[in-house]
Copies of this chain bind each other. A is one copy, B any other.
């Protein structure tokens, strides 16, 4: 069910503003004005992101019925994991697909799979069911696939990054969000492994210098990625609008033509 995602793309590319860090990492990740969801939604609207990514509660309190509803397309993250608990990673669904669609007005849902965790069978199964429910409601289904756990030796290796991308495709995700693998070549391999499933980069922690982050984004777009989900590198920046403009220049540019159709 790629259609609802295609509709909100810019020439087949996507720039998402992700803001589920309050659940995943806590307010420590949300310094200054970034603690306020209204601020981040304002950035998303003003800079015309293709969509904003929120947890259920944030969508319920700040998007639904607010000035932003319908102005920025919404993607709801259906699961979340807090960073305090140790042990093998497990993130379970806390929002139904139906609620995301009918109450919150989302065009797509997101779900994180910790590939390699002792609990990954449970997350594969849960995401599999979610894909079917989302498609039945004509929503896109996006898999965050992150290698994690004692069994993972190098969570940014070329091999495991391509595996993460592929797992997303094999499970039926319309789009897969993965982390950077360190080089353009290896990321290109991951994009190829995902094939018809679109690949977006997970922006990750804030780069020390914006230039660094832009080079990384250039690398992944050159690698054939279909977009980027940014967060901390934007709303922690002094001028998020300016950063977004730089990002759009890279993500939406028609310069690069991936060698695969």
Contacts and interface: CB of A to CB of B under 8 A. Distances in A.
Interface in A118-132: 118, 120-122, 124-125, 127-129, 131-132
Nearest to A81: B121
Contacts of A219: none
A214 interface: no
A219 to B, nearest CB: 19
A115 B62 contact: no
Contact of A135 (B103, B159, B168): B103
A162 B94 contact: no
A226 interface: no
Q: How many identical chains are in the complex? A: 5
A189 interface: yes
A178 to B, nearest CB: 13
Contacts of A163: 26-28, 82, 84
Range for the number of chain A residues in contact with chain B: 35 or more
Contact of A172 (B56, B87, B129, B172): B56
A22 B121 contact: no
A9 interface: no
B151 A84 contact: yes
B121 A90 contact: yes
Contacts of A26: 159-160, 162-163, 166-167
A258 interface: no
